[in-house]
Amino acid sequence: MRKETDRNYGEFRANVQKEAGGLVRLRGAFLKDHNEEIVNLIKHESKLAESENPDHRVTEISKVDGGMDVLISASSLAMHIGKSLSMAYKGEHKYNFSHDEKYVEVDWKRD
């Protein structure tokens, strides 16, 4: 018979799972003039990643305050998209990692 004071360590482990993925924030005047091209680049990179691993994909693209937010299921894909944007369109980008580096926020900006 189990007492209230007994501990089930499996329950503790279940809560340890961290959120994985990433967010790419796009800002700047350049985005307004080249919105369609940039969205196409993001979708193309997502298709390439998804062909390698079905869990790596863009889950949502939304317009926010004159910019764009892109939710991504894998942190490695978020970083790759940030690098691809910088290589293709220049601009500034920086990475903000969570403590365990399973979630990354990529900020990209070009005026």
User: Does 52 reside within a domain?
Assistant: yes
pLDDT of residue 83: 93
56-110 pLDDT tens trace: 999 999 999 889 999 999 999 999 999 999 999 999 989 998 877 689 999 999 9
Average pLDDT, the chain: 84
Q: For residue 4, tell me if it sits in a domain.
A: no
For residue 83, the enclosing domain spans: 19-109
Whole-number pLDDT of residue 67? 93
Res 9: pLDDT: 44
Question: Domain containing 73 — which CATH number?
Answer: 3.30.70
Helix ranges (DSSP H) in 1-111: 9-14, 29-33, 35-52, 75-89
Pair type for strands 67-72 and 21-27: antiparallel
Provide the whole-model pTM: 0.77
Whether residue 27 is predicted with pLDDT greater than 70 in this model: the reply is yes
If one counts the domains in the chain, the total is 1
